[in-house]
Amino acid sequence: MSYVRFNRHQIFDREWMGYHFETLRAVEDFYMEQDESWFNEVYNMLCGVWDGYLYTDILESAKQLGLPTHILQRIANTIRFIETNVNK
């Protein structure tokens, strides 16, 4: 599992903090609706964003877990945002 380090405090403003929080909440809600635990590899990788870790296989792992398209799109948007803004 590889990752990219970034400074979340530099690139995440209030809007992106809220966006990422909503993504985490969407994952939690998805699993609660199925009466399953959301504590899995993808949720852990998403939490890593708060600490400045972007795991390179997060989107593929989310697809393999069968997360819905709207959550996959949110994850893809976050990846694109971080990759665009890292090392600026």
Give the per-residue pLDDT at 83: 96
Per-residue pLDDT tens digits for 56-66: 999 999 999 99
Range of the domain at 27: 3-85
pLDDT at 76 over 80: yes
Query: Can you give the pLDDT at residue 88?
Result: 67
pLDDT band at 1, cuts 50/70/90? confident
pLDDT (tens digit per residue) in 11-56: 999 999 999 999 999 999 999 999 999 999 999 999 999 999 999 9
Asked if the model's pLDDT at residue 80 lies above 90, the reply is yes
Residue 12, Cβ density class (10 Å: 0-12 exposed, 13-18 middle, ≥19 buried): buried
What pTM, to 2 d.p., does this model score? 0.95
Assigned token pair, 73 = 């799109």
Domain count, the chain: 1
